[in-house]
Amino acid sequence: MVHTSLDVVDEKISTMGKALVDQRELYLGLLYPTEDYKVYGYVTNSKVKFVMVVDSSNTALRDNEIRSMFRKLHNSYTDVMCNPFYNPGDRIQSRAFDSMVTSMMIQVC
């Protein structure tokens, strides 16, 4: 399901030429009949895509929350990138990054 959402993200990027970095796409449309979840996409300047899948059973998160989460995610990601030992494309093994992500998720749930 994440792969399908990636396709959607790519499609969105190709269509909208100007505002390359749309902070968030509330792609609520990706709601399958059986699996109720929402997929949020976020693209950075460097074409790095963040996809967030949220279970719909959770009281629908507000758009602002999603956006702030993406912003935090972006910040942490740039911090991880700062590390010269990190090769882009590798699995992120930064503990700080992981802790930030888990804290974010816990805070929401």
Partner 1 sequence: MEGLTLSDAEQKYYSDLFSYCDIESTKKVVVNGRVLELFRAAQLPNDVVLQIMELCGATRLGYFGRSQFYIALKLVAVAQSGFPLRVESINTVKDLPLPRFVASKNEQEARHATSYSSDSENQGSYSGVIPPPPGRGQVKKGSVSHDTVQPRTSADQQEPTSPVVSPQQSPPTSPHTWRKHNRHSSGGNNERSLAGPGPFWSPFGEAQSGSSAGDAVWSGHSPPPPQENWVSFADTPPTSTLLTMHPASVQDQTTVRTVASATTANEIRRQSSSYDDPWKITDEQRQYYVNQFKTIQPDLNGFIPGSAAKEFFTKSKLPILELSHIWELSDFDKDGALTLDEFCAAFHLVVARKNGYDLPEKLPESLMPKLIDLEDSADVGDQPGEVGYSGSPAEAPPSKSPSMPSLNQTWPELNQSSEDTAIVHPVPIRMTPSKIHMQEMELKRTGSDHTNPTSPLLVKSSDLSEENKINSSVKFASGNTVDGYSSSDSFTSDPEQIGSNVTRQRSHSGTSPDNTAPPPPPPRPQPSHSRSSSLDMNRSFTVTTGQQQAGVVAQPPAVPPRPQPSQAPGPTVHRPVDADGLMTHTSTSPQQIPEQPNFADFSQFEVFAASNVNEEQDDEAEKHSEVLPVEKASDPASSLRVAKTDSKIEEKTAASVPANVSKGTTPLAPPPKPVRRRLKSEDELRPDVDEHTQKTGVLAAVLASQPSIPRSIGKDKKAIQASIRRNKETNTVLARLNSELQQQLKDVLEERISLEVQLEQLRPFSHL
The residues binding partner 1 (CB under 8 A) are 17-21, 44-46, 71, 74-75, 78-79, 81-86, 93-96, 100
Return the structure tokens found at 79: 């911090």
**Residue pair 85/38 in contact by the 8 Å Cβ criterion:** no
Position of tokens 């949220």?
54
DSSP H/E element including 94 = none
Q: Looking at beta carbons only, is 40 or 70 nearer to partner 1?
A: 70
Q: Looking at beta carbons only, is 15 or 59 nearer to partner 1?
A: 15
Task: Name the minimum Å distance from CB 46 to partner 1.
Answer: 6
> What 8-state DSSP symbol labels residue 57?
T
Q: Looking at beta carbons only, is 3 or 18 nearer to partner 1?
A: 18
